[in-house]
A and B are shown apart, each in its own frame.
Chain A
Amino acid sequence: ETGVTQTPRHLVMGMTNKKSLKCEQHLGHNAMYWYKQSAKKPLELMFVYNFKEQTENNSVPSRFSPECPNSSHLFLHLHTLQPEDSALYLCASSLAGGRDEAFFGQGTRLTVV
């Protein structure tokens, strides 16, 4: 079992749908992250939660809404997405913030049609 688990692995959604991505970590970490990876672009940090508090919101459109109910779980709620939002969405966790080593989940491949 991997330390950081993401579900679903693949998701196809229409522009009017609402869906959620889930991330769970079993490493005892306190910081969790959402990243977006598009083709030929660097990994883009979206959100950071440290000890359940959101510490970074990297100018992400409001159609992406994060939720962190506890240090082990992180969600990304999606609504009225655009085709350009199609990408690989990666969750990561670290012990206590960006200075520490971050470990990634397998990612969710999202396609918006």
Chain B
Amino acid sequence: QKEVEQNSGPLSVPEGAIASLNCTYSDRGSQSFFWYRQYSGKSPELIMSIYSNGDKEDGRFTAQLNKASQYVSLLIRDSQPSDSATYLCAVNDNTDKLIFGTGTRLQVFP
């Protein structure tokens, strides 16, 4: 059974701080990695995708991938209260399946 693990949180950070969200996965053959943000009562929204080892930056978001450690993370710089949401890690293994973690709830307080 392929698994994607995330700490459910909540992760509480003050406004302006860096939020660090982590995800591990079990399938070494995984090739594509995604971070989604889901506000309460809404559907998941894609915020980052990463396919190669290293860092990928997009505005305040940085995704980090380490395939050797089977680890992917998301850093949010200058966190804002509007970033408060559940962040879902998703992993694909080159099949048509996209496996999601349970999500980490982030709370950014003023």
Chain A residues close to B by CB (< 8 Å): 31, 33, 35, 40-43, 45, 48, 50, 55-56, 58, 88, 90, 97-107
Stretch of B13-21, B56-64, B95-103 contacting A (4+ beta carbons < 8 Å) = B95-103
> Which residue of the partner chain A has the closest CB to B51?
A99
> Which residue of the partner chain B has the closest CB to A48?
B96
Q: How large is the interface on B (under 10, 10 to 19, 20 to 34, 35 or more residues)?
A: 20 to 34
CB distance from A20 to the nearest CB of B (A): 19
B96 touches A55 (CB 8 A): yes
User: Restricting to B61-101, which residues have a CB under 8 Å from any CB of A?
Assistant: 88, 90, 92-101
For the complex of A and B, list the 3 residue pairs with the smallest distance between their C-beta atoms, beginning with the closest. A43-B100, A98-B92, A104-B43
Residues of B within 8 A of A48 (CB): 96-97
A45 touches B44 (CB 8 A): no
In this complex, which of A33, A43, A102, A104 has the most chain B Cβ atoms within 10 angstroms of its Cβ? A43
For the complex, what is the distance from the CA of A98 to the CA of B31, rounded to whole Å?
10
B43 touches A90 (CB 8 A): yes
Jot down 22 A-B pairs with beta carbons below 8 A, ordered by A: A41-B102, A42-B101, A43-B44, A43-B88, A45-B97, A45-B98, A48-B96, A48-B97, A56-B95, A56-B96, A88-B43, A90-B44, A97-B96, A98-B94, A99-B31, A99-B92, A100-B32, A102-B34, A102-B46, A102-B98, A104-B45, A106-B43
For the complex, what is the distance from the CA of A99 to the CA of B29, rounded to whole Å?
12
Q: When A42-B4, A43-B88, A98-B32 are in contact, do A103 and B98 touch as well, CB less than 8 Å? A: no
Q: When A43-B100, A98-B32 are in contact, do A106 and B42 touch as well, CB less than 8 Å? A: yes
Residues of A within 8 A of B46 (CB): 101-103
Interface membership of B49, Cβ < 8 A: yes
For the complex, what is the distance from the CA of A104 to the CA of B42, rounded to whole Å?
10
> Which residue of the partner chain B has the closest CB to A45?
B97
A99 touches B43 (CB 8 A): no
Q: When A43-B88, A99-B32 are in contact, do A31 and B44 touch as well, CB less than 8 Å? A: no
CB distance from B9 to the nearest CB of A (A): 12
